[in-house]
Structure 1
Amino acid sequence: MGSSWEIPKNLNWDKIKDDAIGIDLGTTRCCCAVSRSKGVVETVALDNSGERLLPSFVGYDEENVKCGQIVIDRINNYSNSTVFDIKRIIGRKFSDIIVDPSWTFSLKSDNNNNPLIQTEYCGNLITLSPSQVSATLLKHVKTESEKFQGKKLKNVVVTIPAVFSGQQCNDTIQASNLAEFNSVTLLPEPVAAAFSYFFDREIPNNSNMPLFDLGGGTLDVCVFRIFNNKINIISKSGDSEIGGRNFDNVLFEYLKQKLKNDFNINNIDKKKYKLLSKCQEIKETLSVVNDYSFDVSDFETSINAFIKITREKFEQLSLNLMEKIKTTINMALNDKGEGIRPNEINSILLVGGGSRMPMIKNLLHNIFPDAEQRIKINPDEAVAKGAAYYACHLISNQVMKDQILAESNSEFRNENVFLKDIKNGPDEVASTLLGRGTMESSIVIFPHGLIEGETTLIGKHWLLGFKGH
């Protein structure tokens, strides 16, 4: 069996008020939701233009560090001061990281094979940890949310991929603390999305339901069973190297070669980020229409011509990516020997902007021919709203200790790790331990074990409960 989470229901809104905040800290975009009056959860505008999806870009070209679209708009002039894709770096070993050729920053290793980021701050070379960069994004989101709520927000639920390792969870908590959150709960993104979907809908009891989450930088696939108002993850798989940006990249390489071969435009690298942004636009447009006319004059003013890109061509270019996604789905169906048969599935939840692509919907239909594809919530905002609902649940039940509620590849690989006499999942564990330790202590809950330590950093810790095979 996997992990279990109670779906937030019957919340005490008099306790919650406007104190709950959930953050989807995405590879390419961040989204935030907060509790409002009368039991409403709303997403927050994260920049001056009112956009609720904040690009996960940080710019260090001026004394006041910037985040979001303004960094992308200035990237051609300040590429040496721009950092992004931090979620693909945080918590990983330097030797395990695949360097993306589009990165404008450089990586180096510390003495323990941990990655450090080198970029320019006001023209001077600086070195940052991934947690520091991630903290800058979180601090920006926190500031904008506090403006929206008109008050300080101390406790947060931050979402993470279901396949994040213990170190990745650890570093995300550190980033949240650096952003001045007092209490941090990490929640798997698929679980958050399911919370968002089922918060005000009928819950199909004792049925298996896959959740497919194709975000900007990561892919999560899990199968959960709902029983007695609880979500039980029974199998999962994921790929931290596949996301919507990979589909942008295949269009980028195609157009780069077309511009070079057909129009003798060889200096496209100087406008690399402009072309990447255009490729994202093309990808999103081809989810709605069958073709797109790419204006060559945007990249060479002396040439009046267009490159026609069809949905069929885009799908052909994406075949390798689609095979990897198919493999990930099959791995999820067979994780832990569950051997879930596709014909047992009658519905599937789709989350993440990438799930809008017709080729994704067709792939899922081919694998699960009898399943209804449920996209009745905004796939870009579902994870953030689910995190906010869970924050409401924690406040309502007075459980605001630091927790990691995540499947992980931690050092504790024995599936049968429990706190003795605790049978009802992580909420009861957290409630039971509420009086233990100091206010600064953290509770770390993995499906593989439960650890308690004196700080939010997983360093000195001990296993509270273990049940062997």
Structure 2
Amino acid sequence: MSLAIGIDLGTTNCCVAIHKDGKTEIIENENGKRTTPSFVFYSENGILVGHEAILRSVRIPENGIFDVKRLIGRKYDDPAVQKNKLMWPFEIIREHRNEPLIQLTQNGEILELRPEEVCAEILKKLKNDANRRTGMKIKNVVITVPAYFTNHQKQATEHAAKIAGFNVLKLISEPTAAALAFAQDARDLKNRTVLVYDLGGGTFDVSLLKFNSDEGSVIGVGGNSNLGGRDFDNNLLNYCLKKIREQYQFSLVEQQSDNRRKSAIRRLKYSCEKVKKELTDLKRTSLDIDEFFGTSIKIDITRELFESLNEHLFQKTIEIVDDVLKDAKISKQKIDDVILIGGSTRIPRIETIVMDYFNRKTLNKTVNPDEAVAIGAALQASYLSNSPLQCSHMYTLRDVTPFSIGLEVADHTMSVIIKKNERIPTMGEKKYKTSYNKQREVNLRLFEGENKYVKDNIALGELKISGITPKKAGEVEINVCVHVDLNGIVNITATETSQNTTKKLVIDLKSRRLTHEEISKIRANKTLYK
């Protein structure tokens, strides 16, 4: 098999790596940068990705698309989409299947883009960078996703990769990839328990792993796919908007035209992100913007202020860590290594609260927080593409089910068959009875999630059984077996015990949300894909 690369597809930044000849290296973009902003700009002359896209979006903010990872695989009416929509300068509309579409104008034509299409532009740019660096046409890839991504979000990510022309060898979780990078350089991990705390630009994940001599197992996961550095920026932005109203007696929302308002907020957001980064090293700085509607803006901001604006979010990450440990029935004293990855872990307060939670334990900083995930993905890509790993050892990692899996029952609650954090492959089995007299058929609806009622969980698929023996309610038993294999494929088998009639449904959790024809059509559309 040909060379394969690993991609950390982040909310705010992406990183690409390749493992060959026994070495793993980061692939720089054409600007010589080791990371590329996850930012796409639709201009009159084409599509820009990365640093240049950010610069061009200042004048036309509604054509600059970012945070697409917070849209991909979600429904339009998802509370997270509705919340983020208020902070985005680009337009989000509802598609007839309740999918979110990004609406913008390019060369006088109104475009309605799926999040997968925008994500594909980012992946295509990263693919071109890899082609330029290797002198080859890279086809195979391992892409990382948040550990707490739903199966719909994972499917949509894979569709984006296919639109970009990739063959996806595997999707692996970001903290699992980071653990692979950590394990690769570690001298001895036998019988060590490792916690990966991954706080990026848009998502937060925790993975708990147990290592033996040559294998690591994920024994617990948790997270929030809508919590990260972007939220810290937004809280600071809201504070600055309030100070502008107080100090300069005007409101961007109330007094300016829509286009000028969007452009001004885009400049403010960029400045807030810059201030956040400065406060990593400084205890005090200021937000300065010249020629801001005829005046110069200056707002003093201290590290203490920034931390107070976001302390509730910082503490939410610790609550998730605590839940992961409780679910795994492991005390924090049993954790041997705590690894911080993701750019947002550079915030001093984050390091402090994590150390405090683990009783002032020294944190492991042997991996680069911006590059570890891509390195781990590259190691996995090399392993899967049958390239020899010229290193002393290569750990394999067994993952777990990130969500519980179960069936809807009569009162619309979810009857759990496979619990969250079960090591895969795994299997669960339960017996169910008919709910009314002379029942001839039953619809088995499979869901994933941790909520009591199925309406609050994610639907995976539906299996219909007909020709049931007509008897009194409760006299006919249906035996349901759910199996999850190593590749994340769910099989559900239902058998009526009295007749031994079996129906089977295979739910490929990597199956297409877009059809093959839809993906081919998008790739062939030269207006959208260049």
TM-score (norm 1): 0.81
Give the letter aligned to residue 47 of structure 2: V
Residues in 1 aligned to 2:369 and 2:26: alpha-carbon distance in whole angstroms: 13
Partner of 2:472: none
| Residue 455 (structure 1) shift | 8.7
Greater alpha carbon shift after TM alignment, 406-415 vs 450-459: 450-459
The answer to whether the 8 A contact 2:176-2:207 is kept is no
SS state at 1:159 partner: strand
Q: More relative contact order in 1 or in 2 (CA 8 Å, sep 6+)?
A: 1
Q: 1:307 aligns with which of 296, 299, 305?
A: 299
Is 1:349 equivalent to 2:339 in the alignment? yes
SS state at 1:232 partner: strand
Write out per-residue CA displacement over residues 179-229 of structure 1, whole angstroms, 9 at most, x where no aligned residue. Answer: 111343101100101111221222322222111000000000121111232
The answer to whether the 8 A contact 2:195-2:209 is kept is yes
Q: 1:212 aligns with which of 180, 197, 209?
A: 197
Residues in 1 aligned to 2:278 and 2:226: alpha-carbon distance in whole angstroms: 23
Residues in 1 aligned to 2:374 and 2:118: alpha-carbon distance in whole angstroms: 20
Is 1:279 equivalent to 2:272 in the alignment? yes
The answer to whether the 8 A contact 2:146-2:174 is kept is yes
Write out per-residue CA displacement over residues 31-67 of structure 1, whole angstroms, 9 at most, x where no aligned residue. Answer: 111234x322111222x32122111111112242111
Residues in 2 aligned to 1:318 and 1:453: alpha-carbon distance in whole angstroms: 39
Percent identity between matched residues is 33
Partner of 2:286: 293
Greater alpha carbon shift after TM alignment, 111-120 vs 404-413: 404-413
When residues 447 and 382 of structure 1 are mapped into structure 2, their CA distance, relative to the original with a 3 A threshold, is: farther
Give the letter aligned to residue 35 of structure 1: H
Residues in 2 aligned to 1:107 and 1:297: alpha-carbon distance in whole angstroms: 30
Give the letter aligned to residue 98 of structure 1: Q
Partner of 1:30: 14
Write out per-residue CA displacement over residues 124-149 of structure 1, whole angstroms, 9 at most, x where no aligned residue. Answer: 21111121111111111101110111
Partner of 2:25: 42
SS state at 2:198 partner: strand
Residues in 2 aligned to 1:122 and 1:458: alpha-carbon distance in whole angstroms: 30
Residues in 2 aligned to 1:176 and 1:201: alpha-carbon distance in whole angstroms: 32
Gaps of 5+ in 1: 1-14, 399-403, 421-442, 461-469
Residues in 2 aligned to 1:212 and 1:118: alpha-carbon distance in whole angstroms: 35
Is 1:316 equivalent to 2:308 in the alignment? yes
Give the letter aligned to residue 488 of structure 2: F
Give the letter aligned to residue 414 of structure 1: I
Residues in 1 aligned to 2:510 and 2:179: alpha-carbon distance in whole angstroms: 30
Partner of 1:8: none
The answer to whether the 8 A contact 2:490-2:507 is kept is no
Residues in 2 aligned to 1:259 and 1:183: alpha-carbon distance in whole angstroms: 47
SS state at 2:77 partner: helix
TM-score (norm 2): 0.72
- 1:220-231 aligned at under 5 Å gives the runs 220-231=205-216
Give the letter aligned to residue 98 of structure 2: N
Partner of 1:331: 323
Partner of 2:82: 98
| Residue 271 (structure 1) shift | 1.5
Partner of 2:161: 176
The CA RMSD measured in Å over matched residues stands at 2.9
| Residue 279 (structure 1) shift | 1.1
The answer to whether the 8 A contact 2:488-2:510 is kept is no
Residues in 2 aligned to 1:173 and 1:372: alpha-carbon distance in whole angstroms: 37
Write out per-residue CA displacement over residues 282-327 of structure 1, whole angstroms, 9 at most, x where no aligned residue. Answer: 1111111211133354636644x74322111111111221232222
The answer to whether the 8 A contact 2:220-2:400 is kept is no
* Residue correspondences, number: 413
Partner of 1:365: 355
The answer to whether the 8 A contact 1:58-1:83 is kept is yes
When residues 98 and 355 of structure 1 are mapped into structure 2, their CA distance, relative to the original with a 3 A threshold, is: same
SS state at 2:161 partner: helix
| Structure with larger Rg | 2
| Residue 112 (structure 1) shift | 2.5
- 1:79-228 aligned at under 5 Å gives the runs 79-96=61-78, 97-100=81-84, 101-228=86-213
Residues in 2 aligned to 1:449 and 1:408: alpha-carbon distance in whole angstroms: 17
Q: Which of the two has greater strand per residue?
A: 2
The answer to whether the 8 A contact 1:94-1:115 is kept is yes
